[in-house]
């Protein structure tokens, strides 16, 4: 279950970032570039505080960070 949540979050953030650099996107959402990199490779466990911070910066609900259905690419 944890691995699936990390995968969903990683895909969601990569989709939001698009072609923007990790450094620029990380600065915009208020986290370290190294943290974003670890999130995107599914190697970062996040605290509830960090998830709340991401939601505030991205102006989304926590459910948005973990979409239930993967979009068809």
Percent of the chain with pLDDT over 70: 93
**pLDDT of 16:** 94
Residue 48 has pLDDT above 80, yes or no: yes
Q: What residues does each domain of the chain span?
A: 2-65
Cβ distance 62 to 23 under 8 Å?
A: no
Question: What predicted TM-score, i.e. pTM, was given to this entire model?
Answer: 0.84
Cβ distance 22 to 37 under 8 Å?
A: yes
Please provide the CATH number assigned to the domain covering 2-65.
1.10.260.40
DSSP secondary structure string for all residues of the chain: -HHHHHHHHHHHHHHHHTTS-HHHHHHHHTS-HHHHHHHHTT-----HHHHHHHHHHHT--HHHHS-SSPPP-
Residue 69: pLDDT band by 50, 70, 90 thresholds?
low
Alpha-carbon distance of 73 to 71, in angstroms, equals 6
pLDDT digits (tens, 9 = 90+) for 9-40: 999 999 999 999 999 999 999 999 999 999 99
């Amino acid at each position: 279950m944890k691995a699936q949540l990390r995968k969903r979050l990683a895909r969601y953030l990569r989709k939001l970032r698009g072609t923007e650099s990790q450094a620029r996107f990380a600065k915009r959402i208020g986290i370290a570039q190294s943290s974003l990199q670890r999130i995107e490779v599914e190697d970062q466990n996040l605290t509830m505080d960090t998830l709340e911070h991401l939601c505030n910066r991205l102006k989304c609900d926590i459910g948005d960070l973990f979409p239930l259905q993967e979009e068809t690419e």
